[in-house]
Structure 1
Amino acid sequence: MARKSLSPHQTATFVESMECLPVTKIPEGREWTYEIKLDGYRIEVVRTDGGTTLYSRRQNVLNHKFHYIAKALDYLPADTVLDGELVAMGPDGKPNFNLLQNFKSAESHITYYAFDVLMHKGRDLTQVPLSERRALLRSVLKPSDHVALSEVSDRTAAEMLKFVKSHGLEGVISKRSDSVYQPGLRTGLWTKHRINLGQEFVIGGYTPGTHGFDALIVGFYRGRELIYAARVRAGLVPATRRSVFEKIKHLKAAKCPFANLPELSDGRWGAGLTAEKMKECVWLKPEAVAQIAFLEWTGADHLRHTKFVALRDDKDPKGIVRET
C-alpha cells in the first residue's frame, strides 16, 4: 500500500500523486504560478541504491516500456523522488497521447518533464514550499534528449490563457508557490483548467456489436456514485475495438454500476439511457478508464459528439470526476 508521505533520512519509496482540482477559471494572484498542461502519463521517479524505478500513479512499474527514461535519470543521487509527466511530442510540436501509446516506435519523441522533487538524498521535501522544491529541482535536474524541466511561466493568468489557446494546447496548471505536497489529495492548492473539451471517463459497460462491442458506456464519479454520461462510438476503428475489447471483457458484471440509470427519456440529444435501452447493455466493473473528446456538456450531465481517444491505464477510476 502506498505511503502517505516520506519520513526524513529513509530510503526513497513511492508517494501517492498530489492531484489537481478541475476549475472553470484560472486562479489569479501573486501566490499562483502557471505551467502548460501536458497530455501524457504522470510518472514518479524513485531512485535508490538499487537503481531507478518509474512508477505510474497507480504504482505500476513502467521501466520495461520506458527503459531509456530510467537510464537517462540514473545520475540522480540515491533516495531521490521526482514527480513529472511523460510526454510524446507530435510533428507539430504538441503533446500527442496516441503517439505515447505507441511507445516502441516513438522513443525519439518521448520526454520526461519533471515538475517536482519530493525527496532528495533521503531528505523528505513534501512539507517544504513548492517554490523551494522547484529551486532544488532546477539545480538537480540535468536536461537531455529524454529529460526536461517543466517550465513555470512568468505570464499572468490572462496572458497564460491567451498563449495556450493561441497554440492549441490542452490547458493550464496553476499551483500556489507556497503549497506543500499533499499525497493523494485534491485540495485546490493545485488546479487544472482545460481549454479543449475532453477528459477521462470510467467505462461501466458497452453495447454488443462487431469486433466485440458497438459503443462504450462511460461516466464519472460524483462523490461515491458513478454517473452515466455518454455512449461512445466515434473514434473506434475495427482494430481499436478489438484491442479495447480484449482489455475490458474480463470486467463483465451482473449489475449496472451507474447510480443515475435508468433515465426516463432519451433526452433532447438522444443521449439518455432508458430502461428499454439498458436491456441491450453489457455491464462492467468500473475499473477501466478511457480518454474521451467531446463537443459540450448538456444540462443533464450528458456529453455531445463524443470521440474515443485512448484507454488510460495510468488513471485511478475512483478519481475520475467531471472537470468542466
Structure 2
Amino acid sequence: MTLPTIPPMLATPGTLPPASQDARWAYETKQDGQRVVVRLGGDGSVVLRARSGEEITAAYPELRPLGGVLGSTAAVLDGEVLALDEQGRADFQLLQSRMGLAHAPGRAARRAAQVPVHLVLFDVMHLGRRSLLPLPYVQRRARLEALGLTGPHWSTPAALVGHGEQALRATREHGLEGLVCKRLDSVYEPGVRSRAWVKIRNMRSEDVIVGGWLPGKGRLTGLPGAVLVGQRAAGRLRYVGSVGTGWSEPERTELAALLATAATHVCPFDPAPPVHGARWVLPRLVGEVRYSTRTRAGLLRQPSWLRLRPDLAPEESAADLPDARP
C-alpha cells in the first residue's frame, strides 16, 4: 500500500507547564540523536527519512529487520536514532560517524559493526489504512505501546503522565539532554513547531547558521579563527555573534574545508554586521552552540561551538527572535 509522507511535528522551546496543569501533560526524555520518520510498508520494507526529507535508510543497516516486526501491518512512526556511550547515554558525536553514509552502504555496514545505533520510538502517525493524526496524543501513545516494538536495536521508552518537576530533575541528575512535555489532548501536527509540545534543554544551547568566518592567526593561520553565525527571523538571517572556541584541531580543519566550498562575496546577514576582515559563505551549514545568555541586542554571550548539525537544513534552525534590527 502507499503510505503518506508525513513531516515530523516539532516542539517549541519553553518551560514546564504550571503545576495546576501538570496532570494534563506527558513527559518524555529529550534524546540527543537524529530525528527520523519510519515507514514500515507491511511487506518487510522499512524506509527512514530525516527531518529534511532525505532518505537515510542505508545509513543504518541494523534497523532493516524492523521492517518485518509488524507483519503485513503498515505504519508510519516517529522516533530518534541514537548512538549510546559506555554509560548508555546518547552521544551525538558518536552518531556523527554514522550520519551522512546513506549513499555509502559499504562504509555504513562497517561503521554499524563499530558504532551500532538504537532507535527510540515515541509516536505513531499512521497505522494500517488509517491516519492517526487527528487522535489525541494519549490515544496515539496507547496504540504505539500496543505494537510492542522492542528489539535488539529499537525500543519504545515509557512516557510519564504528570510529575513534570520530578521528570526534569531526573534528566539533570542523569546528565541527559532534557525533557519534552506533550499535552495529552494534542493532535499530531505534521511539520508544525507546536506549543502543544514543549522542549526543555538542561544546557542553554541553540542551532545557528554559519554565514561567515574570520581567519585565524599564529598556529591557526590558514584555518578559521572564528565563525560568524546567525538565526533566521521574519525571513532574514540575523547576526547573533562570532564563535571562536569549542573545536578540536581536526574539527577546525574539517570546518575550514566546508567553508572553502561555500565561499561567496555576498554577506548573507541582514543587516550586515560591522566585522572587519570577514569572509562570507553561503548560509547552508548548521551548527549548535552553547552560550551563557543574550545581550539586549540578541547577541550570544560567551558562545562556544558544540557540533555541526548535518541532519538539519538551514531553514529548520529558525529562532524565536523579535523582528527588530539591533
TM-score where L is the length of structure 2? 0.84
CA distance in structure 2 between the aligned counterparts of 1:115 and 1:27, rounded to whole angstroms = 24
Residue number among 68, 87, 91 corresponding to 2:86 in the alignment: 91
Aligned residue in 1 for 2:60 = 66
Aligned residue in 1 for 2:6 = 15
CA distance in structure 1 between the aligned counterparts of 2:223 and 2:45, rounded to whole angstroms = 41
Aligned residue in 1 for 2:324 = none
Q: Does 1:40 align with 2:43?
A: no
Q: CA deviation at 1:64?
A: 2.1
Letter in 2 for 1:93: G
Aligned residue in 2 for 1:163 = 170
Q: CA deviation at 1:52?
A: 0.7
Letter in 2 for 1:170: E
CA distance in structure 2 between the aligned counterparts of 1:318 and 1:26, rounded to whole angstroms = 28
Residue pair 2:25, 2:162 contacting (<8 A) in 1 also: no
Q: CA RMSD in A?
A: 2.3
Q: Does 1:51 align with 2:48?
A: no
Label 1:239 to 1:185 Cα distance change in 2 as closer, same or farther (>3 A): same
Letter in 2 for 1:186: R
CA distance in structure 2 between the aligned counterparts of 1:297 and 1:18, rounded to whole angstroms = 28
CA distance in structure 1 between the aligned counterparts of 2:126 and 2:312, rounded to whole angstroms = 23
CA distance in structure 1 between the aligned counterparts of 2:123 and 2:191, rounded to whole angstroms = 15
Aligned residue in 1 for 2:107 = none
Q: CA deviation at 1:292?
A: 1.5
Label 1:297 to 1:25 Cα distance change in 2 as closer, same or farther (>3 A): farther
Label 1:114 to 1:230 Cα distance change in 2 as closer, same or farther (>3 A): same
**2:160 match: secondary structure:** coil
1:147-170 Cα shifts (integer Å, max 9, x gaps): 011320245122222222222221
Residue pair 1:27, 1:157 contacting (<8 A) in 2 also: no
CA distance in structure 2 between the aligned counterparts of 1:165 and 1:319, rounded to whole angstroms = 27
Residue pair 1:11, 1:79 contacting (<8 A) in 2 also: no
Q: Which deviates more, 78-87 or 100-109? A: 100-109
Aligned residue in 2 for 1:5 = none
Q: Does 1:131 align with 2:138?
A: yes
Q: CA deviation at 1:43?
A: 0.7
CA distance in structure 1 between the aligned counterparts of 2:25 and 2:50, rounded to whole angstroms = 27
What is the aligned-residue identity percentage?
29
Q: Does 1:309 align with 2:306?
A: yes
Q: Does 1:153 align with 2:160?
A: yes
Q: CA deviation at 1:187?
A: 2.6
Letter in 2 for 1:135: A
- Structure 2 segments unaligned to the other structure (5+ residues): 99-110, 322-326
Label 1:73 to 1:248 Cα distance change in 2 as closer, same or farther (>3 A): farther
Q: CA deviation at 1:106?
A: 7.2
Letter in 2 for 1:191: V
User: Aligned runs of 1:1-324 on 2, under 5 Å?
Assistant: 11-26=2-17, 28=19, 29=21, 30-48=23-41, 49=43, 51-76=45-70, 77-103=72-98, 104=111, 109-209=116-216, 210=221, 212-262=223-273, 275=274, 277=275, 279-322=276-319
Label 1:236 to 1:72 Cα distance change in 2 as closer, same or farther (>3 A): same
TM-score where L is the length of structure 1? 0.85
Residue pair 1:99, 1:106 contacting (<8 A) in 2 also: no
Letter in 1 for 2:281: L
Q: CA deviation at 1:190?
A: 0.8
Q: Which deviates more, 99-108 or 187-196? A: 99-108
Q: Which deviates more, 105-114 or 162-171? A: 105-114
CA distance in structure 2 between the aligned counterparts of 1:304 and 1:105, rounded to whole angstroms = 39
Q: Which deviates more, 67-76 or 199-208? A: 67-76
Letter in 1 for 2:84: M
CA distance in structure 2 between the aligned counterparts of 1:106 and 1:246, rounded to whole angstroms = 28
CA distance in structure 1 between the aligned counterparts of 2:253 and 2:141, rounded to whole angstroms = 43
1:163-206 Cα shifts (integer Å, max 9, x gaps): 22222221110111111111111130111111111121111111
Q: CA deviation at 1:211?
A: 5.1
